[in-house]
Amino acid sequence: MSARYEGRTGEDPGAAAARLTGRRVSGQRPPSGGPAHVVLDGGQVVMVKRGSDPGATRAEAAGLLWLAEADAVRVPAVLGHDAHWLVTEQVPTGAPSARAAARFGRDLATLHAAGAPAFGAPPPGGPEDAYIGLAPMRNTPGPDWPHWYAEHRVLPYLRRAVDEGTLRPTEAPLIERVCELLPALSGPTEPPARLHGDLWNGNVLWGADGQAWLIDPAAHGGHRETDLAMLHLFGCPHLHDILDAYHRTTPLADGWPDRIALHQLFPLLVHAVLFGRPYADQALAAARSALAA
């Protein structure tokens, strides 16, 4: 068993699953870069993940429960969790289809419309100090989206990228200029949406049941165009069908395609911090596109 999956008590994924679900374990498959697959008595396969930090585990569990509460896009059921471990149901996967994508678009619109108390609001029971992937992400509520997005999404990662040498100090003013102009660039005012928060293609599973499922959320209250911009950033099967069904369910504000780069600035800076200079170049290109829109 990989050491990074063992707690300070020596607990492995199987022992954690048994403790948190109250069921016996009949088998497990060692993890290979992701959650462990554990078989519970009776044959049910569950996913067992050890969080990088207690805040990460709490945030993911709270996010899954909050997204499920909207009764929209399907998410794996949380079967148990504590400060270190998260146990969820396994999603049997299939192939994406145009029909599944259209349903996903409708359900995603419904999820966003379920709303949030404020921009930056964490899920109920979730910590303010959360994560997006392996990067810390602070969920601090703000009164309006432009100022909140600048202060709590773009600028923290910009500062870290500069401090770590991924972005040059002479390049930072370009992105700072976008932040200054956000009230004029952000389009019509919208209420806080219930976001997945890390909606790239890898966090959308196409289920054997013909539906899309969402995993690994960085859930919070935000602008719905941010989730859609993430789908654009890394690609998604049948994206046109997703967006068409979304727009038919809850129309997007005029000019939203021109704001995609603006919403991509945050995840690109997160990736620059985590993975280096190529994403910094993309973030600078997104800033130029946002200013030119």
Strand pairing partners for 89? 46
pLDDT band of 63, cuts 50, 70, 90:
very high
Q: What does the pLDDT average to over 240-261?
A: 97
Tell me where in the chain the CATH 3.90.1200.10 domain(s) lie: 98-292
Return the SS3 of 237: coil
* pLDDT of 159 higher than 90: yes
pLDDT band of 53, cuts 50, 70, 90:
confident
Tokens of 219: 């859930």
* pLDDT of 1 higher than 60: no
pLDDT of residue 54: 84
Distance (Å, whole) CA 119 – CA 137: 14
Contact present, 128 and 140 (Cβ < 8 Å): yes
Tokens of 84: 């270190």
By mean pLDDT, which of 29-33, 241-245, 267-271 is the weakest? 29-33
Q: What does the pLDDT average to over 3-21?
A: 73
Tokens of 14: 């199987």
pLDDT of residue 51: 84
Distance (Å, whole) CA 31 – CA 23: 20
Contact present, 16 and 83 (Cβ < 8 Å): no
Q: What does the pLDDT average to over 202-211?
A: 94
* pLDDT of 30 higher than 70: no
Return the SS3 of 46: strand
Q: What does the pLDDT average to over 160-185?
A: 98
Residue in the block written with tokens 């993890």? 31
Residue type, 111: L
- Predicted TM-score (pTM) of the model is 0.93
pLDDT tens digits for range 120-135: 999 999 999 999 989 9
Average pLDDT of the chain, as a whole number: 93
Is the CATH code 3.30.200.20 the one for domain 3-89?
yes
Q: What does the pLDDT average to over 271-289?
A: 97
pLDDT band of 52, cuts 50, 70, 90:
confident
Q: What does the pLDDT average to over 6-28?
A: 83
Tell me where in the chain the CATH 3.30.200.20 domain(s) lie: 3-89
Distance (Å, whole) CA 40 – CA 38: 6
pLDDT of residue 293: 86
Identify the CATH class of 98-292: alpha beta
pLDDT of residue 55: 85
